Structure 1
Amino acid sequence: MTHFFLNTASLLMRFNFRKVILLLTCFTSSLTSSCKQDNVPVTTPPPAEDVAPDLPTIRSWLTDKNATAETAALFYNLQQLAKTNILFGHQADTEQGYGWGDASGTSDVKAVTGAYPAVYGSDFLFIASFQRNSWFDNQAQITKAQAIAAYKRGGINTFCWHYWNPVSSVVATDWNEGVNGDFYWDNSPVPAVQQILPGGTHHAVFKASLKRVADFAKSLISDGKSVPVIFRPFHEFDGDWFWWGKAHCTAAEYKDLYRFTVTYLRDSLHVNNFLYAFSPDRNFTTETQYLERYPGDEYVDLVGCDNYWDLRANGADIILAASKLKIVSDYAKAKNKLAALTETGLELKANPTKNDWYTQTLLKVLKQQQVELAYVLLWANRTNAYFTPYPAHPAAADFTKFKHDPYLIFGDKLPDVYTIR
């Protein structure tokens, strides 16, 4: 302690001496000179704050150069938020849940945490499927209503497409004929990708399905403005479970499928409220593997991946999962794209003793490397399979702790993402 006081006194004496010399120097300098001393602010203007680019500039980065102003703003603001935070998303959050399906604004996430998610996942399954009956029509109306409601509360909509095999599902070009298809290969083992591309036997059927998607997208209107959507077609293509999977089409055919989907929606059907997302499953460890079926930067706004396996209850590999996110994030930063963990989750009913997965697995994966991800999306809840807990569930406390981590943004902390700031 004695040494502390002696050293402090010595420092004060040296400081006062320096102060005298500094004052003398200032006095003899010209009146227009500026003088800086310890702990005294410099009277120079602060550096200019970063200025957001204008709308035409942001549009020039996008797949759709005619994207609506709100869609362009969404891209830019998600890019900025990803520098410091990640948004939390949940599939079908207000469409269905544990023990309910009323779609009246109910949310399992809100019931536990007090807040809606920031990102809402939906599916074109009910809109552009070949099954047309009252149940499907009702589900389509629920999806539309909840997507608009999510936008009105400031949330973000992302749609995947579990598209029924258009070759095995359709007997004729009539939309209402042939309803025995499926999106899983095991239930619909008929090669289709080549047949729905231009020149194929079922190309007209595929275009009719895209027209359904486009009509629905254009019906998403709130206060006279189109609701932006992050559209994620033909996901998990590096697996074999979907009919568009790796074993069922060549890399060139998959790229052509993705490119045609984008260009037909954008250029022929004039859908201008989409950002386009590319997302394989977890089957890559290098950028080269990740990009094996990549259609090209001009067709993609968001790069992502789905990953359940590396985050499983027993045997999770946090380092491996994080390294894959780093590949995605680095590519996004290099190419001026968004990045996301587009699907993940732990099915809680099947893992009743794993009650700390959100903080001890998912959060650690998200934070393990310096990544810039726009959002992470957990899969949907229903009574017999749920990926976020209900209020009385043993994992509810951990999920609430996860929600309050400063890195996460739920709906209650989401800033305006539809205005360029």
Structure 2
Amino acid sequence: MNSLPSFLLTLSLLAVTSGIQAAPRPKLTDPNATPETRALYRNLNKLAKKHILFGHQHATEYGHGWNGDTDRSDVKSVTGSNPAVIGVDFSGLSGRPPEAIERTKASLRKQIADTYNRGGVTTVAWHFTNPVTPKTGFYWKDSVSAPAVPDLIPGGSHHEQYKAILQTVGSLANSVRGKDGKLVPMLFRPYHEFDGGWFWWGKPHCSKEDFTKLWQFTVSYLRDSLQVHNFVYVFSPDCLFKTEAEYVDRYPGDAWVDMVGFDDYADFGRNGRYNLPAGIARLKIVSDFARKNRKLAAFTETGLESIPDSTWWTGSLLKALKAEKVRLTYVLVWRNDARSATHFYAPYPGQASVPDFLQFYNDPYTLFETDLRPMYR
């Protein structure tokens, strides 16, 4: 007599009685998300179980000593592959003359579509010019900047203006198509580093209630009124938290967030100071919160300016990413300025950390663009 079926039945009964069950799969908050956006979300979730995608801000727009070249990135010049994740910015979509905004939209459309056509992933930051005091830009300037968050939410003095700005964002999102004719999915990361005070939307300049109202309105208006269905919404404070409770202090709720992350330069060598144990602890808090709440997680920004530590990639970053078996979709380092000799966060040919970066690149855990499976199917 074959005892295998009864053995399997016993195992399944044991699993039920002991409460063992597979963790539910993360699910997008937009029920009408495009098939490509749903596929990207599923594939990021699958890959995060064993890998992490490497990202670089503005990687293909410009780099160390160059600007606007076709089919180029500093990372590709070093490794032969572009980063798996390319960061762009919606900063130019408001606070400027209409012709300048249209030029920005055309440039963004090309960058985002090109990344999609190559099989890569786009993440979007938003260094958003203050709509109430546009001359102050996106940074907070004491005694000059307006604490604008309450002015943008429903009932606020600049609410209609904010809706017009979101219409510009929405028109771009709904016009970026790949060569297959499909709308391109994007990881949209508004109001980042909101727990600090350096941006006008930062914690010292608005109440928790107004911040979460602004977040919820932004998602609702884009998704439900403007019919933007190719955004994955990413929540990312800076690294000013030590506990999960502090991390979620301004969390707008599971219904309004698809991915959680954080930005952390301070623990990874900024100003010569390292605190890897603190950085690792924060990575674990975010990863654990994501799994518990059916979200994806990411290390949304980090890096070491000028990379003076030639073994930073494996000795600090990779070490931290692997320390607690965290589950993260991607890690992104900041940009390489075209004109500054010192403002860069990824190596370029000849830079001192290239040998170590190649070890980081060749590690099976890290994925670059040429390593990716089809992400949108």
**TM-score when scaled to structure 2?**
0.90
Question: What one-letter code is carried by the residue in structure 2 that aligns with 1:203?
Answer: H
Q: How does 1:151-170 map to 2 (within 5 A)?
A: 151-169=116-134
CA contact 1:121–1:157 (8 Å) conserved in 2: yes
Cα pair distance change 1:266/1:133, threshold 3 Å:
closer
- What secondary structure, in the 3-state scheme, does the structure 1 residue paired with 2:196 have? coil
**TM superposition shift of 1:138:** 3.6
Q: In structure 2, how many angstroms separate the alpha carbons of the residues matched to 1:161 and 1:33? A: 62
Contact 1:95 1:142 in 2 (8 A): no
Partner of 1:379: 334
What residue in structure 2 maps to residue 199 of structure 1?
155
Per the alignment, in what secondary structure is the counterpart of residue 131 of structure 1?
coil
**1:33 shift after superposition:** 5.5
Task: Give the Å deviation of 1:315.
Answer: 2.5
Between the aligned partners of 1:334 and 1:400, the Cα distance in structure 2 is 34
Residue 70 (str. 1) matches residue 36 (str. 2): yes
> How far is 1:140 from its partner?
3.4
Deviation for aligned residue 1:227:
0.3
Partner of 1:114: 80
Partner of 2:16: none
Matched, 1:402 2:357: no
Paired letter, 2:352:
P
* Residue in structure 1 matched with residue 13 of structure 2 by the alignment: none
Partner of 1:367: 322
Correspondent of 1:322 among 267, 280, 287:
280
Look up the match of 2:199: 242
Deviation at 1:158, TM superposition (A): 0.8
Which residue identity lines up with residue 171 of structure 2 in the other structure?
Answer: D
Identity of aligned residues (%): 47
SS at match of 2:66: coil
Answering whether residue 366 of structure 2 is matched by residue 411 of structure 1, we say no
CA RMSD in angstroms comes to 2.0
1:264 aligns with 2:227: no
The 5-angstrom pairing of residues 21-420 of structure 1 reads 61-126=27-92, 128-132=93-97, 137-169=102-134, 180-186=135-141, 189-222=145-178, 223-312=180-269, 314-348=272-306, 353-382=308-337, 383-384=339-340, 385-419=343-377
Q: Contact 2:105–2:172 at 8 Å: present in 1 too?
A: no
**Contact 1:345–1:379 (CA<8 Å) still a contact in 2?**
yes
Give the superposition deviation at 1:106: 1.1
Equivalent residue letter for 2:328: L
Q: What residue ranges of structure 2 are gaps of 5+ in the alignment? A: 9-23
Q: 1:97 to 1:138 in 2, by over 3 A?
A: farther
> Is the 1:95–1:143 Cα contact (8 Å) retained in structure 2?
no
Distance 1:103 1:210 in 2: 30
**Structure 1 length normalisation: TM-score?**
0.81
Q: How many angstroms does 1:139 deviate by? A: 3.9
Larger radius of gyration: 1
Which residue identity lines up with residue 409 of structure 1 in the other structure? L
Residues 7-18 of structure 1 correspond to what in structure 2 (within 5 A)? none
- Residue 135 of structure 1 deviates from its aligned partner by 5.7
Q: Deviations over 1:289-327 (max 9, x none)?
A: 000000000000000000000101522111110110101
- Per chain length, whose mean CA-contact separation is higher, i.e. which structure has more relative contact order (CA < 8 Å, sep 6+)? 2
Residue 186 of structure 1 and its aligned partner are, at CA, apart by 1.7
Q: CA deviation at 1:355?
A: 1.5
Instruction: Give the unaligned 5+ runs of structure 1.
Output: 1-31, 36-43, 45-56, 170-179
Deviation at 1:136, TM superposition (A): 5.4
Q: Deviations over 1:134-162 (max 9, x none)?
A: 66544432222111010011101110111
